[in-house]
């Protein structure tokens, strides 16, 4: 919320925003080149030469793969979170049993499950399912606890008014509860997608012992090009950052503003 209401880029003029974007991308590019060069002096005249073997078409296609993979994992996580919320609203006592378990499970890093997931899905020959499972484990918790937190902030008067109009079951859930927790779902979704971006590399490029599985995506490009192809690594990194910025500006920023109308004063 601080980013969206205080010092966000939208507070600046269009020219200033363009300047900040260009400056940020230059900083990322120079930092990546410096690290890739082994902390040697950077020759700026050779900056563009590192990109000579980069395929723009490959970057765009792999960006699409990564984005779709994250979207599928997010939708699965959102569905599971709403399912838990629905069960909790129908059976109040279940929350006292489930939440402590979820609280313990979410504290376990996703990498702790990584070896087991790799071994199981490598034997089955299903790398895509392995990637989805890693992403869902990482993305699920932020949405779930955001939704549960929002559920407890709904005033009792709202439920009383809904009962007056005979709202029950699914009608109560989708017309009263979901709109009421929508701002919290959006906040949890922003954090959820952030977790997804963080683990996209290990989910798309699995190299564990004698098990090697790779999927088309920016995470895969970053893994295979690191230390071997500076141009491809830097280009993949810039595209990933650009994709994150686009999703943030066009999706989450607008949903955050839209969710303000559902907040209780």
Q: What is the CATH number of the domain that holds 71?
A: 1.10.3720.10
Residues 76 and 196: their CA atoms lie apart, in Å, by: 13
* pLDDT recorded at residue 213: 75
Q: Helix (H, G, I), strand (E, B), or coil: what is residue 13?
A: coil
* Structural domains in the chain (count): 1
Rounded Cα–Cα distance for residues 242 and 152 (Å): 36
Confidence (pLDDT) at 66: 93
DSSP for 209-242, please give it: TTEEEE-SSHHHHHHHHTTT-HHHHHHHHHHHHH
pLDDT in tens, the chain (265 residues): 545 555 566 666 767 777 777 777 777 777 766 666 565 555 655 555 666 777 888 889 999 999 999 999 999 999 999 999 999 888 878 878 888 888 888 888 777 777 777 777 767 778 888 888 889 989 999 999 999 988 888 888 877 787 777 777 788 888 888 888 999 999 999 999 999 998 888 888 776 666 677 888 888 888 887 767 777 888 888 889 889 888 988 898 889 888 888 776 6
Contact 63, 243 (CB under 8 A): yes
Asked if residue 177 is part of any domain, the answer here is yes
d(C-alpha 107, C-alpha 118), whole Å: 21
CA atoms within 13 A on the CB side of 231: 11
Domain assignment present for residue 135? The answer is yes
DSSP secondary structure code for residue 261 in this structure: G
∠ CA 15-2-18, rounded to 5°: 15
Burial level of 231, CB count in 10 A (0-12/13-18/19+)?
middle
Note whether residue 26 is domain-resident: no
**Does 4 map to a domain?**
no
CA gap 205, 220 in Å, rounded = 5
Provide the whole-model pTM: 0.83
Q: Could you tell me if residue 23 is inside a domain? A: no
Name the strand (E) or helix (H) holding 51: none
For residues 199 and 137, the answer to whether their CB atoms sit within 8 Å is: no
Contact 201, 219 (CB under 8 A): yes
Decide if 236 contacts 59 (C-beta within 8 A). yes
- Assess if residue 154 is contained within a domain: yes
| Collapsed DSSP state (helix, strand, coil) of residue 47 | coil
Strands, E, within the chain: which ranges? 205-208, 211-214
Structural domain span for residue 186: 55-262
Q: Answer whether residue 42 is part of any domain.
A: no
Q: Is residue 49 part of a domain?
A: no
């Amino acid at each position: 919320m601080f980013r969206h209401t205080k010092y966000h880029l939208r507070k600046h003029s269009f020219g200033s925003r363009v300047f900040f974007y260009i400056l940020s991308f230059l900083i990322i590019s120079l930092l990546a080149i410096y690290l890739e060069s082994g902390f040697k002096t950077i020759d700026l005249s050779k900056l563009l030469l590192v990109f000579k073997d980069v395929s723009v078409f490959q970057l765009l296609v792999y960006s699409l793969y990564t984005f779709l993979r994250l979207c599928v994992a997010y939708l699965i996580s959102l569905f599971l979170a709403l399912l838990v919320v629905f069960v909790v609203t129908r059976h109040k006592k279940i929350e006292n049993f489930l939440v402590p378990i979820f609280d313990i499970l979410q504290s376990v890093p996703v990498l702790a499950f990584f070896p087991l997931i790799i071994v199981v899905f490598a034997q089955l020959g299903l790398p895509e399912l392995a990637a989805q499972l890693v992403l869902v484990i990482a993305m699920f918790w932020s949405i779930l606890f955001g939704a549960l937190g929002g559920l407890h902030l709904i005033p009792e008067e709202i439920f009383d008014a809904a009962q007056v109009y005979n709202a029950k079951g699914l009608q109560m859930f989708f017309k009263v509860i979901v709109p009421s927790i929508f701002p919290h779902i959006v906040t949890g979704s922003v954090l959820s997608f952030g977790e997804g971006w963080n683990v996209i590399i290990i989910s798309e490029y699995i190299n564990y012992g004698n098990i090697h599985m790779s999927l088309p995506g920016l995470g895969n490009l970053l893994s295979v090009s690191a230390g071997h192809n500076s141009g491809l690594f830097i280009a993949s990194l810039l595209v990933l950052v650009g994709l994150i910025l686009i999703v943030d500006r066009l999706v989450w920023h607008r949903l955050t503003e839209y969710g303000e109308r559902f907040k209780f004063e």
